[in-house]
């Protein structure tokens, strides 16, 4: 059967117009040019004989009148047990320097989300082993959680820690999808996962920062296709980590601009809501298994009213907001307990005791936040005894919510810890009851469970001191 061929009629950066003489390829079909070196995806039918395509590879060397071949199908991603422990690009080619896996199936990256009847109707909590997350913003199994923060506040470190913790106590699969991030981060993550011994149950995909916008726009769909294979065919739970979902929106804006579409509010593409929903709605819990997603969201200029942040919020069951102020104070993970929220934090889901502790913690921290201005102007001594007690407890809670990570051991020289939900709740309860008011704040900094606090000893002058 003869292939459907056309020729390049114009090249404008990543947008390539192709003319066909007989039959136009459908939208999303993949076309190959320059001896299959350049990959194009059909985006629009412009006339009866021509299509507009977006390049998924650099277009250097492409010229008018070059022959273009229609592959007859859309972009496909490899699936199968052999993809575990490997690193792929958007085309399903391995980029880890090892021989390509052989026993693979190829599936289209364009899928419909699971139907309402296939979705699971019961809600379950997804424990992470990170105190502040499990107590204040519990994550949903099969749900989507967003990590919001500006540049350099610890989004990637938190994602890496979650990979480490999940694979440690859940027999699932983890898929890391890097959209428009630095290649250095990908290489470091690969080595860290290898050293942690969790690479065997991981797949990594990268559409790097220097890749064309079409490439970065499709890498998320390729990762979801792999996740759906493990959920639907292998009946496994999947943890899908996306770093960074803002880069997906940004790539869509670049594609939209290159295609000549009229920009919407603040320069974003008019189809942003639809494009994001097409990706997000495929992440769901079904009767076969669950895809739980944690997505880093870069917030431009820390402005949460930015359309990219607003549209992303709509899809999430939990929002972890990272605070630059907390990071500057050395309170890691730098999650803001008052701005972060979770739809799971209700008595019907987490239980009455957990709900009450979380509410009390938030109340104490909110009161401390209100008192900060008075403390800054007049000093701690001017507060009432009750307010001083609130400040004491709040500052100890803040320090208790810090936690040494396994992924930062090499920088901090502090062994990483994973804390069970029961231990985290017990610690909060005891601090709220004033049990640690006599202890210095530093005693609760960078520990795991509250039982790691060193006991108080009597000094020779009869006063209490904190054991070194």
The phi, psi pair for 275, rounded to 5°, reads -65, -40
Q: Find where tokens 């990543």 sit.
A: 14
Count of all residues that appear for the chain in the document: 468
- What SS3 class is residue 207? strand
Residue of 86, 107, 144, 155 marked active site: 155
Q: For residue 94, how far is the Cα from the chain centroid?
A: 22
Which one, of 108, 88, 103, 161, lies nearest residue 130 by Cα? 161
Which one, of 370, 425, 459, lies nearest residue 132 by Cα? 425
What is the C-alpha to C-alpha distance for residues 52 and 46, in angstroms, rounded to an integer? 6
Active-site annotation holds for 144: no
Pairing verdict, β 144-149 and 318-321: parallel
How is residue 295 annotated by DSSP?
Answer: E
What is the C-alpha to C-alpha distance for residues 63 and 130, in angstroms, rounded to an integer? 54
Angle at 292 between CA 307 and CA 333, to 5 degrees: 70
Residue of 17, 140, 161, 181 marked active site: 181
Which one, of 124, 137, 123, lies nearest residue 424 by Cα? 137
How is residue 175 annotated by DSSP?
Answer: E
What is the C-alpha to C-alpha distance for residues 288 and 447, in angstroms, rounded to an integer? 38
A 10 A CB-CB count for 32 gives 17
What is the C-alpha to C-alpha distance for residues 236 and 286, in angstroms, rounded to an integer? 11
Residues 308 and 256: beta-carbon distance below 8 Å: no
Active-site annotation holds for 181: yes
Active-site annotation holds for 435: no
Which one, of 185, 309, 304, lies nearest residue 246 by Cα? 309
Residue of 19, 182, 395, 430 marked active site: 182
Question: Rounded to the nearest 10 degrees, how much is the dihedral formed by the CA atoms of 436, 441, 447, 451?
Answer: -20
Q: Which residues are catalytic?
A: 155, 181-182
């Amino acid at each position: 059967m003869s292939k459907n061929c056309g020729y390049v009629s114009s090249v404008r950066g990543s947008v390539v117009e192709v003319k066909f003489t007989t039959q136009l390829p459908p939208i999303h079909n993949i076309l190959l040019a320059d001896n299959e070196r350049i990959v194009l995806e059909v985006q629009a039918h412009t006339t009866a004989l021509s299509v507009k395509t977006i390049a998924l590879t650099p277009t250097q060397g492409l010229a008018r009148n070059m022959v273009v071949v229609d592959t007859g199908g859309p972009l496909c991603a490899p699936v199968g047990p052999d993809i575990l422990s490997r690193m792929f690009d958007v085309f399903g080619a391995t980029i880890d320097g090892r021989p390509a896996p052989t026993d693979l199936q190829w599936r289209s990256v364009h899928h419909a989300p699971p139907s309402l009847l296939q979705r699971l109707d019961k809600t379950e909590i997804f424990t992470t082993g990170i105190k502040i997350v499990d107590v204040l913003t519990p994550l949903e199994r099969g749900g989507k959680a967003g990590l919001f923060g500006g540049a350099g506040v610890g989004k990637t470190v938190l994602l890496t820690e979650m990979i480490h913790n999940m694979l440690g106590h859940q027999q699932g699969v983890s898929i890391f999808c890097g959209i428009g991030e630095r290649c250095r981060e990908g290489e470091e993550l690969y080595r860290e996962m290898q050293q942690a011994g969790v690479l065997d149950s991981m797949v990594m995909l990268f559409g790097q920062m220097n890749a064309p916008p079409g490439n970065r726009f499709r890498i998320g769909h390729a990762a979801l296709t792999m996740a759906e294979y493990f959920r639907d065919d292998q009946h496994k739970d999947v943890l899908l980590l996306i770093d960074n979902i803002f880069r997906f929106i940004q790539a869509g804006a670049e594609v939209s601009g290159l295609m000549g579409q009229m920009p919407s509010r603040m320069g974003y593409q008019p189809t942003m809501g639809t494009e994001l929903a097409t990706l997000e709605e495929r992440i769901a819990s079904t009767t076969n298994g669950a895809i739980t997603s944690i997505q880093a969201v870069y917030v431009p200029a820390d402005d949460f009213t930015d359309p990219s942040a607003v549209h992303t919020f709509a899809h999430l069951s939990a929002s972890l907001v990272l605070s630059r102020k907390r990071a500057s104070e050395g309170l890691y993970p730098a999650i803001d307990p008052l701005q972060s929220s979770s739809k799971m934090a209700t008595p019907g889901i987490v239980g009455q005791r957990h709900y009450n502790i979380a509410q009390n913690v938030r109340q104490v921290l909110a009161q401390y936040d209100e008192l900060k201005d008075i403390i800054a102007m007049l000093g701690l001594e001017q507060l009432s005894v009750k307010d001083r007690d609130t400040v004491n407890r709040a500052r100890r809670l803040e320090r208790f919510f810090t936690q040494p990570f396994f992924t930062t051991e090499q920088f901090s020289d502090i062994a990483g810890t994973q804390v069970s939900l029961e231990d985290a709740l017990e610690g909060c309860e005891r601090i709220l009851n004033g049990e640690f008011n006599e202890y210095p704040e530093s005693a609760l900094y960078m520990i795991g469970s509250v039982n790691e606090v060193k006991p108080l000893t009597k000094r020779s002058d009869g006063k209490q001191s904190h054991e070194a």
